Chains A and B, each alone.
Chain A
Amino acid sequence: MNIFQKVQNGQYTVIVTHHVLNEIFDVLKKQAVVATKHEVWAERQTKQLYSQFTTTLLSSTNVLIKDPNISAKNLYSPAFSLLYKYSKGIEFAFSCPVCHSTFNFVDSDTIFRDDAVHAILAWALNCDEFITFDADFYQLSNEPLIQPLKISVIP
């Protein structure tokens, strides 16, 4: 049973923060300009797809749009603690991520600021589980700062 079926059956209640909604919009924006290579078309496509996605979300059962009631200090300060602690990680690639030509590409490979904010928001919302496709979050599995939040990475 996939994650969406579990939500439909009520095994999970999904909490969507505005941080998630904002990130999805950013992803769509980037993909739209790559796909259309046109400023106006890209904006139109972004908003059209985002509207479809949001309407689907709003019509879904067992989905809550919620943000925790915490101060910016209680969000960004512990997020910085996580960033500072998990700052090690590197990835090598042999082709450029933009033009795909052969290239020795090196980049940092660990959690970044938005990842840390996601984790703190989930913790502050009293979530039981943080479900993601991003394997970088494995590092936070035993992180005391966000206990007892469970980190689950879907392969």
Chain B
Amino acid sequence: MSDLKVVEVTQPNDVVQIKEEKIIVLRKKTITVQEEYHVQTIEEPIGLTDNNVVALDKPAFFSKAKPMENENLADSSVDDLEERKELARIIGLTHLPDKRPDSIQTISGIFDEIAGKEEIDTTQLVKDLRRRCK
């Protein structure tokens, strides 16, 4: 008997080569490459239950814009000049009216002319308008 000994049994897809009196077995292997993903956790508001609406936490993005956080609107130096000028321009004024302390008192009743003979519930009127879904 020769000195041949069986080292390995070939599989069906193996490729067998004989080279320089050597038997070479080539076997295919399947390699799985795993990619790494970066997972970002986002906090979302609590979901709603069947009958009761759970108090919603403020969404992560819900915050006041930083410029307003430190702005004290009660401070008389807060400037709304640009907004006033724009509003005056839209309604056709050529210049901003002078400020008068008692001016605000004249707002009440300013629309009486349009109210007509009937007393109008303006709160209800505004509510009716807000409900119009077109």
Shortest CB-to-CB span from B13 to chain A, Å, is 57
Interchain CB contact under 8 A, B126 and A23: yes
Contact with A along B19-45 (1 / 0, CB 8 A): 000000000000000000000000001
A92 at the interface (CB under 8 A from B): no
B6 at the interface (CB under 8 A from A): no
Find chain A residues with CB under 8 A from B12 CB: none
Interchain CB contact under 8 A, A27 and B125: yes
B128 at the interface (CB under 8 A from A): yes
Find chain A residues with CB under 8 A from B83 CB: 65-67
Other-chain contact of A134, B88, B100, B104, B127 (Cβ < 8 Å): B127
CB closest chain-A residue, reference B56:
A81
B1 at the interface (CB under 8 A from A): no
Shortest CB-to-CB span from B126 to chain A, Å, is 6
Once A59-B98, A77-B59, A77-B62 are accepted as A-B contacts, the answer to whether A49 and B114 lie under 8 Å apart by CB is yes
Find chain B residues with CB under 8 A from A32 CB: 114
A-side interface residues, number (CB < 8 Å): 68
Other-chain contact of A56, B56, B63, B110 (Cβ < 8 Å): B110
Q: In chain A, residues 55-71, which have Cβ atoms closer than 8 Å to a Cβ of chain B?
A: 55-71
A140 at the interface (CB under 8 A from B): no
Find chain A residues with CB under 8 A from B124 CB: 97
Interchain CB contact under 8 A, A59 and B97: yes
A13 at the interface (CB under 8 A from B): yes
Q: In the bound complex, what is the Cα–Cα distance between A34 and B129 (angstroms)? A: 13
Q: In chain A, residues 33-79, which have Cβ atoms closer than 8 Å to a Cβ of chain B?
A: 34-35, 45, 47, 49-71, 73-74, 77-78
Find chain A residues with CB under 8 A from B53 CB: 84-85
Interchain CB contact under 8 A, A124 and B104: no
Interchain CB contact under 8 A, A28 and B105: no
Shortest CB-to-CB span from B76 to chain A, Å, is 8
Shortest CB-to-CB span from A55 to chain B, Å, is 6
Ranked nearest first, the 5 interchain pairs of A and B with the lowest CB-CB distance are A65-B83, A59-B97, A60-B104, A69-B65, A133-B123
16 contacts between A and B (CB under 8 A): A2-B108, A8-B102, A8-B105, A26-B129, A31-B114, A32-B114, A35-B116, A50-B91, A55-B93, A56-B107, A60-B104, A61-B100, A61-B101, A68-B65, A71-B65, A74-B61
- Further contacts, 12 of them, CB under 8 A, given A61-B99, A69-B68: A8-B104, A31-B114, A49-B114, A52-B110, A55-B93, A56-B110, A73-B61, A74-B63, A77-B62, A81-B56, A133-B123, A134-B123
Interface residues of B (CB under 8 A from A): 45, 48, 53, 55-56, 58-59, 61-65, 67-69, 71-74, 78, 80, 83-84, 87-88, 91-93, 96-108, 110-111, 113-116, 120, 122-131
